[in-house]
Structure 1
């Protein structure tokens, strides 16, 4: 039985040497690609497993890095890096483009058939690639109903799906409303799924370090959100040739 292939990959972005996780389908042909961005803590085995699952479905998947090969388990250290990053669209785009360039350069990737999905900070980066006019087939985010600079959402060229917990204090109702207003005003094909009773990072299994308030795992909604991501890809970027 042929299995997927995985490897660590290094690339430059945000002045750092990033270390991503690349997962390749078992066959030998060129396949559509998916960028997968992590929560603010950074790349972990959670995202690596998701990239592997995407490769099993027939995608070339790159789980990208945020912090130069580091995982920021200390919430204070994570916020100290991520809050300035989230306030700087150009830095987010630099991180996104660094990963995107690597994915496009992979010989197994069809460079014209790429989607970007992400969680938290990684989702905000996926959205900024869209606002930068990148030719993506779909953008999917969880916990990332972030808004951009005025008028730039008009550059988004693909459908956008966003998922968020109803009890998420970080992506609160007013933030969700600002995001949907931005998408609507820009004429984007957008969808928002609100998962009842879920907190921020509801998709992420429990971690063995402190987290910021308002974070909590919801196993049922975690599976539903993953199914919604897969459905978005099946609609907008089918893995079959």
Structure 2
């Protein structure tokens, strides 16, 4: 028997993409809204998992773009749950903060200007997920989209005990002085070849910083013709080929680091 519990409806574009990942036989995918906090600030995330799994499972923390927790990360959480992972979409802004338009840029800017706060906000979600009884605490990864991709890479710099980090069309921030030596996770950076937010010079500077810390296992993949936010369905920037390829790259990467 295969069952998926009802959840708030996704947009048609997100529902169509979700349907491309079949639910595995005998799975029961459960989703729920999760209330937690960071230093007293109420946060509201989203958890998806197969409740029929009879052993602790590897887990993936998902970090949202600058619009906050919405259809894209809820869809990705369900997709990952269908692959057998415990998937938790973190809230980096606050339970009532879901900005649109120019407000989204302004909200994200608060955290780009305070990277320690951004890292700490990710850490709160990571701690919550680490303690979940369905999670294998030795097998955790973080993925993120746009702003969330940057947050994932920043969290990696804290030396958190992660198996892997995946960023999709993230802003790539090279640090000077560098703190890349603290990175313990394997990195997979998926970027667009036509992304004005992340030009070739930014990619090169980021790679050069990683090269200076030779213990880090890292990969950078660039998708031709892909602009910023190429994985966000229902927008004019969505590129289905780059999205599909980057999803497969992430899935293979997770298989490897969780093995």
- TM-score for the superposition, normalised by structure 1: 0.90
Contact 1:128 1:148 in 2 (8 A): no
**Counterpart residue number, 1:55:** 81
Is 1:18 matched up with 2:39?
A: no
**Counterpart residue number, 1:5:** 30
1 CA distance for matches of 2:180 and 2:217?
11
**Counterpart residue number, 1:32:** 58
SS state of the match for residue 232, structure 2?
coil
1 CA distance for matches of 2:125 and 2:42?
11
2 CA distance for matches of 1:230 and 1:151?
29
Is 1:42 matched up with 2:68?
A: yes
Q: Decide whether aligned partners of structure 1 residues 82 and 156 sit closer, same or farther in structure 2, where only a CA change above 3 A counts.
A: same
Is 1:136 matched up with 2:162?
A: yes
1 CA distance for matches of 2:174 and 2:248?
25
Contact 2:92 2:122 in 1 (8 A): no
1 CA distance for matches of 2:117 and 2:174?
15
Matches within 5 A, 1:158-177: 158-177=185-204
Is 1:123 matched up with 2:144?
A: no
What's the offset of the Cα at 1:149?
5.3
- RMSD, aligned α-carbons: 1.6
What's the offset of the Cα at 1:65?
1.4
Q: Runs (4+) of structure 1 moved beyond 6 Å?
A: none
**Counterpart residue number, 2:7:** none
Q: Decide whether aligned partners of structure 1 residues 96 and 197 sit closer, same or farther in structure 2, where only a CA change above 3 A counts.
A: same
What's the offset of the Cα at 1:16?
2.9
SS state of the match for residue 69, structure 2?
coil
Is 1:226 matched up with 2:247?
A: yes
**Counterpart residue number, 1:73:** 100
Matches within 5 A, 1:143-222: 143-144=169-170, 145-148=172-175, 150-187=177-214, 188-207=216-235, 216-222=237-243
Contact 2:194 2:227 in 1 (8 A): yes
What's the offset of the Cα at 1:66?
2.3
- TM-score for the superposition, normalised by structure 2: 0.84
Q: What number of residue pairs does the alignment pair up?
A: 230
